[in-house]
Structure 1
Amino acid sequence: MTSTELLVAIGGAALGYWFIAVAWPLLRGRRGDDAEAPGASPFAPDPPWHEVLGVGADAERAIIDAAHRAKREEYLPERVARLGAGARRQAQWRLMEIDRAYATAMRELGLGRDEPR
């Protein structure tokens, strides 16, 4: 192997590393640590539903429904549309957490969708 070939191989490796480490995430719309999903690990257990909704564990259906609506209102996509991509992902993540907490509350309390509001 000549010195020119060695120089080309090292330059190609450096250029390849730069492309994968820097250019590729930028092309995909990601920037550094912001690329990860916000919040806890997707495999971590959800917090108790009453803590997410901000009500007591013995709350009635009307209180749970009102808390769910109020929490959802805070994180609606229309409210965070002008914010950065990271804030929009955080709001989406939080909205899913609120909806999962509401579904868990309805399931644990034995309240179905057909119950009167």
Structure 2
Amino acid sequence: MTSTEFIVIVGGLVLGYWLVAVVWPLMRDRGELPPGPLLFEPDPPWHEVLGIAADADGTAIAAAYQAKRDEYSPERIAGLGHEGRRQAQLRVIQIDRAYAAAMRELGTGREDAEAGR
């Protein structure tokens, strides 16, 4: 056996081991998501986001919503850096989602208005 044949045999064994040990598990588990953190965090309860009681009426919800929105108005966040403005925008989205959830719970959400047409 020459040294070239020996190198080819050892290289083939290494390549085969790599295929079985690394590539095969990747191909087999392709459809499953690995365990880890959620891609999106679930929304907190709307009354916690708006800072009011869970049994508040529509006017209290609307007032709390407007007050929270005013905290993150463009004039107030203009002096923040890029990351601060981004966080404020995400907070406004969370506030909007909380308000929509509260209105749905009260039965005055957009779904009921569209059903009445």
Normalised to the residue count of structure 1, the TM-score between the two structures is: 0.59
TM-fit CA distance, 1:78 = 2.1
The reply to whether residue 71 of structure 1 matches residue 68 of structure 2 is: yes
User: Unaligned 5+ residue runs, structure 1?
Assistant: 1-40
SS state at 2:83 partner? helix
Q: Summarize the Cα distance change of 1:42–1:92 in structure 2 as closer, same or farther, 3 Å threshold.
A: farther
TM-score by length of 2: 0.59
Alignment of 1:95 onto 2:92:
yes
1:58 to 55, 59, 69: 55
Deviation at 1:108, TM superposition (A): 1.3
Over the aligned positions, Cα root-mean-square deviation in angstroms equals 1.6
Tell me which amino acid in the other structure corresponds to 2:90. W
Percent identity over the alignment is 65
Deviation at 1:43, TM superposition (A): 1.1
Measure the CA separation in 1 of the matches of 2:48 and 2:98: 9
Could you give the per-residue CA deviations for residues 45-75 of structure 1, whole angstroms, max 9, x where no partner exists?
A: 0000000000111000000000000000001
Which residue is equivalent to 2:101? Answer: 104
Question: Which one has the largest radius of gyration?
Answer: 2
Contact 1:53 1:101 in 2 (8 A): yes
Closer, same or farther in 2 for the Cα pair 1:108/1:94, shift >3 Å? same
* Paired position in structure 2 for 1:23: none
The one-letter code of the counterpart of 1:110 is: G
Shift of 1:83: 1.2
- Structure number with greater CO (CA < 8 Å, separation at least 6) is 1
| Number of residue pairs the alignment of both structures matches | 74
Gapped regions of structure 2 (runs ≥ 5): 1-37
